[in-house]
Structure 1
Amino acid sequence: MRWEQKSATTQRRFHVWVRRFQVLVSLMLSSQTKDQVTGAAMQKLRAHGCTVENLLATSDEKLGELIYPVGFWRNKVKYLKQTSAVLQRDFGGDIPNSVEGLVRLPGVGPKMAHLAMDIAWNQVSGIGVDTHVHRISNRLGWFRRPTKNPEETRKALEEWLPRELWSEINWLLVGFGQQVCLPVSPLCSSCLNQNICPSAHQSSPVKRPKAGSPRSPKSLPFKTKTEPGQELALNDETIKQEPRPETVSYMRPRRKNKCPL
């Protein structure tokens, strides 16, 4: 009887460890990846067996097939293998229960660590700030000075946002950023915050091409063929191109009809 109870307790503990590990894996896969792609990859991993032991026993090629096409999937195959090895060696297959321990794992950053603490350990250690939270917080003017990166945004948010809201701010702003407050061409006309948002109805910033890129003005030759009448701006000067020779029609002079009389 005692052995059966002990076995049942061990099984429950194992399931809890597996759940926490899968939370960490899903966070690692979600970086630079759409939710639908992450969900599909996690579904394939769970069917394959998403445990520390199974991932270590899976070849890199097979693991790549399972998580493809998540963003940077080749690097994530490497990080998953390395992280699984660390968890098996140093934590008995479980994940660390602190932000300091989580960020030491390959491929795990501060955002993932705080979200893992909230979801896997049910502990609010900080705000998980990704690109959506970083962008929207600055658009809404929540800081005295604009923040430069997600980690700076996290510290600025935690200075004034009540701690009981730290857990839900990420979910609210991520969904809002995916549906309404888009990175480019946000839907300000349908946003309920348009009357209080200092960035409402402002045009999205246009990305300038990098120097040396094919679209960079400096990389374009001075003389460029264009259609007749088109103008090309180079180095703040407007140069009108001459029409192509083949577009010029040379009309022969008409012969005067001789009088039939």
Structure 2
Amino acid sequence: MSSPFFTQSRTATTRVTRSGGGQRSGGTLAAALRSRLSGRQSEANTAPSVEVKVEAEEEKVSEQEEPFTAAPSTGDKLLQQSTVQPKPEPEASPPRRRRRLVKLEYEKEDVASGIKTEDWEPPAWKRQLEFIRDMRSGRDAPVDKMGAEKCYDAGAPAHVGVRRFQVLVSLMLSSQTKDQVTAAAMQKLRTHGCTAQNVLATDDKTLGELIYPVGFWRNKVKYLKRTSAVLQEEFGGDIPNSVEGLVRLPGVGPKMAHLAMDIAWNQVSGIGVDTHVHRISNRLGWLRKPTKNPEDTRKALEEWLPRELWSEINWLLVGFGQQVCLPISPLCSVCLNQFSCPSAHRSSPAKRPKSGPPRSPSPRIKAEPGRDQTINQKTLSPTGQRRVIICAI
């Protein structure tokens, strides 16, 4: 080709390749370039390795200084178990909301049984109690004049336990007995000498005559003898100062024990529940559920009734049961609780019976002397009542 461009380039190429000095210099330059490139490549290869080693050593140092938060492997777990490391202090967490506090406010735990029971009290019981206090303000019931608090000899020496012994004897005689009969029997015993030593020295026949006609007087003679023997031998004629010691005595139950602790020792240990307290508590609905005996009533009352009322409640309800809330035909029409009592007007008369002698029985038909009476015929009257026709022969 005749182009000057191609001619010039071919000439330059030929000049380089054919000259000997140029070939040597070109090889030297190529070798120098190669050495430089290889040196740079070696530096590039060696520098990262040094940096990687430094970073690896820094990571090891940081692992020793700071706790490892990743999931440890099996080897790490064994290493952690073999080396004792101080536990980090837990961070203060915000207080949690205790939801059970509201529930515990309405619950209490029975320590003996371990069962939690809800707090319960009968509705309007405070108002009913105030009405009973108003109706008992006269203090004219038999229990007010002839109760266990009135039967002991006030002049008897107290340091030898004579008063306390008489309180216990009056409580033992009052079981299944009216207060009037108990007071009369205690009067005869006090005249005879109502001490543990005198009771032991009295024969059973004489003792029975002294306490007659109290209920179950034969059994009570045995109980008095056996109780007096225990008291004389173990307590020097005095009575125990605990409920556990009192209930071990023959013829003494929980009601008598709690009343004896209150009257004789001036200590409130429980509620004395007799037939009146048992009946009225069920009628007023003062129990969570109806009870069948006084002991269950006592336990149910002590669950909710404030302790400061335990001593008063026996005296209030006993007199109230003797005058108004009678066992048969209670006088609901004169009771202040007739509108709140769930048992009001169920078996009570419309009006309070008039005071006076008891109704005399119907007159009997007397035959004339010398004549016999025989029933000849029985017919029914027009009103449906049976009519007896008596014919004289």
Q: SS state of the match for residue 173, structure 1? A: helix
Q: Which amino acid aligns with 1:18?
A: V
The answer to whether the aligner puts 1:132 opposite 2:132 as a matched pair is no
Extract unaligned runs of 5+ from structure 1: 1-10, 205-225, 231-239, 248-261
Partner of 1:253: none
Read off the aligned partner of 1:104 and give its amino acid letter: R
1:109 aligns with 2:260: no
Q: Distance in 2 between matches of 1:67 and 1:145?
A: 38
Q: Per-residue displacement from partner, 1:64-112 (whole Å, max 9, x unpaired)?
A: 1111111111111111001000111122211111111111111111100
> Which structure would you say has the larger Rg?
2
Equivalent residue for 1:20, pick from 153, 156, 164: 164
Q: Which residue in 2 is equivalent to 1:35? A: 179
Match of 1:154 among 298, 302, 313: 298
Unpaired segments of 5 or more residues in structure 2?
Answer: 1-156, 349-376
Task: Identify which of 375, 380, 384 aligns with 1:229.
Answer: 380
Tell me, in whole angstroms, the C-alpha distance in 2 between the residues paired with 1:66 and 1:109.
Answer: 23
Structure 1, residues 19-68: CA drift from partner, whole Å, max 9, x if none? 00000000000011111111111111111110000000011111111111
1:96 counterpart letter in structure 2: P
Q: Which amino acid aligns with 1:168?
A: E
TM-score under structure 1 length normalisation? 0.74
Matched, 1:92 2:236: yes
Instruction: Give the partner amino acid of 2:323.
Output: Q
Other-structure match for 1:175: 319
Contact 2:288 2:300 in 1 (8 A): no
Question: Using the alignment, how far apart are the partners of 2:319 and 2:205 within structure 1?
Answer: 33
Aligned-partner Cα distance in 2 for 1:227–1:185 = 34
User: 1 CA distance for matches of 2:226 and 2:158?
Assistant: 26
How much does 1:228 deviate? 2.5
**Runs of 4+ off more than 4 Å:** none
TM-score, structure 2 normalization: 0.50
**Structure 1 CA distance, aligned partners of 2:378 and 2:241?**
65
CA deviation vs aligned residue, 1:137-157 (integer Å, no higher than 9, x gap): 000011221111111100110
1:195 positional shift:
1.3
1:160 CA displacement: 0.7
Q: Could you tell me which amino acid in structure 2 is paired with residue 140 of structure 1? A: L
Amino acid in structure 2 at the alignment position of 1:229: L
Task: Name which of 79, 83, 104 aligns with 2:223.
Answer: 79
Greater alpha carbon shift after TM alignment, 142-151 vs 124-133 = 142-151
Corresponding residue of 1:215: none
SS in 2 for 1:228: strand
Verify: 1:191 aligned to 2:335, yes or no. yes
Aligned residues: 207
Return the letter of the residue paired with 2:299: K
Amino acid in structure 2 at the alignment position of 1:39: A
Aligned match for 2:346, one of 177, 196, 202: 202
CA RMSD of aligned residues (A): 2.5
1:55 matches 2:199: yes
Q: Deviations over 1:188-231 (max 9, x none)?
A: 00111111111110027xxxxxxxxxxxxxxxxxxxxx94238x
Aligned to 1:252: none
